[in-house]
Amino acid sequence: MAQLSWFDELTTDQAAEVGRLLAAAESTDGVAPVGEAVRLRMRPGATGSKHLLAHLDGELAGYAHVDMIGDSGGNKVAEFAVHPRHRHQGVGEALVKALPQEGLRIWAHGGHPDAEKLAAKLGFRKVRELLRMRLRVENDLPEPKLPEGVTIRPFVPGKDEAAVVYVNHRAFDWHPEQGSMSIEDVRAKEDEPWFDPEGFLLAFTDEDRLAGFHWTKVHTADLGEVYVVGVDPDSQGGGLGKALTLAGLRHLQQRGVKEVMLYVEADNTAAVRVYTKLGFTLWDADVQYAR
């Protein structure tokens, strides 16, 4: 039986040990078992989390993270992983049963079949699906057609954070996670190795008002990401979202990536339609479960 231990904060050694478990799970499954936000919360000094470690015979067999701040609906959000060597030994079930159950949502990245079976066994149902789509960008991409009076320039650290957060909140006030992005969140990501201000494209009106942005991300030499595309509601409906998307794709293409991925809510049919018309196809999906 797994030994379970809760922590409000991980030590450097614990974070490294969990990192090795996550890497092993990703290598086996082909998809990261936790999202970027969890990895940021694993750093010493990070707050707002509960970390659950499961050990078998002195070896780390499983890890679960609970976001105690929660999403905009007041739900606590959990993500977990079991080391491939210790699967089908009850570790995953023990982790889930130990989580705070009231208002709990659990992500299963990549829609892993074992997660689906465990969810059904424990009385959870699918409540949300996040599609991952991808596009080969080896061919020429159309020129972005910006609305009249709109120009694009790169993000300037120390200058543009507040404007981006304001537009992001207006664009994603409906979104459980994205809409709550803070200036501190932006600054924390500026410290990440992947951050590139040249790939953070801001669209301004001729009145110097931020109308929208496309934040791109490069994962590997061959893989980039449409990280966030946000358009202020006052600027929606004029083609700015498509133009920003194309501008970011062309930037990633110039960086030499061969493929670009993105995440989009399955029920956001308008966005899925836009990305499909641009040539994106379904890769896999993350599924969120709740009782």
User: How confident is the prediction for the chain on average, in pLDDT?
Assistant: 94
Tokens 């304001």 — which residue?
166
In this structure, are 12 and 151 located in the same domain?
no
Would the pLDDT of 32 be above 90?
yes
pLDDT of residue 72: 79
Would the pLDDT of 18 be above 90?
yes
Burial class (CB in 10 A: 0-12, 13-18, 19+), 248: buried
Q: Which amino acid is at 131?
A: L
152 within some domain? yes
Among the listed residues 69, 73, 74, 65, the one whose alpha carbon sits nearest the alpha carbon of residue 32: 65
Question: Which DSSP string corresponds to 180-194?
Answer: G--HHHHHHHHTSTT
Domain final residue, candidates 103, 123, 143: 123
In this structure, are 96 and 177 located in the same domain?
no
In this structure, are 141 and 206 located in the same domain?
yes
Both tokens of 172, joined, read 């994603």
CATH number at residue 233: 3.40.630.30
* Strand positions, DSSP E, the chain: 3-7, 49-56, 59-67, 76-82, 104-108, 125-136, 151-154, 200-204, 210-218, 223-231, 259-265, 281-290
Backbone angles phi, psi at 263, to 5 degrees: -115, 140
Give dist(CA 25, CA 84) in Å, integer. Answer: 6
The band of 209, judged by pLDDT with boundaries at 50, 70 and 90, is very high
User: DSSP class of residue 144?
Assistant: P
In this structure, are 155 and 46 located in the same domain?
no
Would the pLDDT of 179 be above 90?
no
Average pLDDT over residues 122-151: 93
Q: Is the distance from CB of 135 to CB of 247 less than 8 angstroms? A: no
pLDDT of residue 79: 97
Both tokens of 92, joined, read 């995953």
In this structure, are 44 and 16 located in the same domain?
yes
In this structure, are 103 and 182 located in the same domain?
no
* Domains in the chain, number: 2
Give dist(CA 170, CA 248) in Å, integer. Answer: 21
pLDDT of residue 70: 86
Average pLDDT over residues 116-134: 95
Distance of CA 254 to the CA centre of its chain: 24
128 within some domain? no
Average pLDDT over residues 267-284: 91
Q: Is the distance from CB of 169 to CB of 181 less than 8 angstroms? A: yes
In this structure, are 63 and 150 located in the same domain?
no
Would the pLDDT of 92 be above 80?
yes
pLDDT of residue 45: 87
pLDDT of residue 274: 87
Average pLDDT over residues 152-167: 98
55 within some domain? yes
Average pLDDT over residues 243-265: 96
Q: Could you tell me the residue range of the domain that residue 147 belongs to?
A: 134-285
In this structure, are 236 and 98 located in the same domain?
no
129 within some domain? no
pLDDT tens by residue, 40-86: 999 988 899 999 999 999 999 999 999 998 887 889 999 999 999 99
Determine how many CB atoms are found less than 10 A away from the CB of residue 149: 10
Would the pLDDT of 16 be above 90?
yes
Cα distances from 226 to residues 162, 230, 260, 280, 284, in angstroms, run 21, 11, 7, 11, 16
Domain final residue, candidates 123, 149, 167: 123
Annotated binding site for acetyl-CoA: 229-231, 236-242, 268-273
Cα distances from 142 to residues 45, 139, 289, in angstroms, run 45, 10, 39
291 within some domain? no
Domain final residue, candidates 91, 123, 155: 123
Annotated binding site: 36, 177, 217, 225, 229-231, 236-242, 263, 268-273
Average pLDDT over residues 140-156: 95
In this structure, are 85 and 204 located in the same domain?
no
Would the pLDDT of 111 be above 80?
no
290 within some domain? no
